A = this chain, B = another copy of it.
């Protein structure tokens, strides 16, 4: 708990454009990334003081980052009880996916109308990065980049509220995928992303929307939302013990 990875505090400011929010963003991004890559498991307590020491900033900054993460639904902020990594329930996951279908359909239609050549090129680049990450076996980065692809698409739709909402949904989706993905396979097949870009470039709205909807189908068909995989709810975790009476073998330590 005393190891302080990189002070990161005196490095910037005088450098160039003293963008004030930088520290917040760094902390935010690091925690977010750690959650997506499952270095922080759902339910993990996020102590303000501990994080402050780790990042070399005061609790004020940490608190803002946590607040932002909470607003996106990646972190749960319990009054007087601190923050924990969110562990979305199956029902919450379903709600997120329902909302995403809605938003992705609209975004796709708008992107077909408004996407510029430059944006399309950027999208292709992101798919490449995503593929690289997976081929490197970097699952966390893959999940993140896959999310960023959908976010980039939202930007092409040129609707600020939708972008903001999509950011929140994508964050939560990433967390859900990290939590529920049924193991091995690629979750967001980049093939589908590539096809989607092609359809957008051809300005074929109907095809693009169909592809996106199928893409959504594939995503949640790859999740086993019918069985909880891990949870903070002890009752749920040990429900099988309650059903079939079982010897007192000590489970892995909590």
Contacts and interface: CB of A to CB of B under 8 A. Distances in A.
Interface of A: 19-21, 64, 67, 71, 73, 79-80, 92, 95-96, 98-99, 102-103, 106, 158-162, 164-165, 168-169, 172
B162 A79 contact: no
21 contacts: A19-B79, A21-B79, A64-B67, A67-B67, A71-B71, A95-B158, A95-B159, A95-B160, A95-B161, A95-B162, A96-B161, A98-B159, A99-B161, A99-B165, A102-B102, A102-B103, A161-B165, A161-B169, A164-B168, A165-B165, A165-B168
Nearest to A96: B161
Contact of A162 (B20, B71, B73, B99): B99
Contacts of A67: 64, 67
Contacts of A165: 99, 161, 165, 168
A65 B67 CA distance: 12
A56 B80 CA distance: 22
A82 B102 CA distance: 35
Contacts of A64: 67
A153 to B, nearest CB: 16
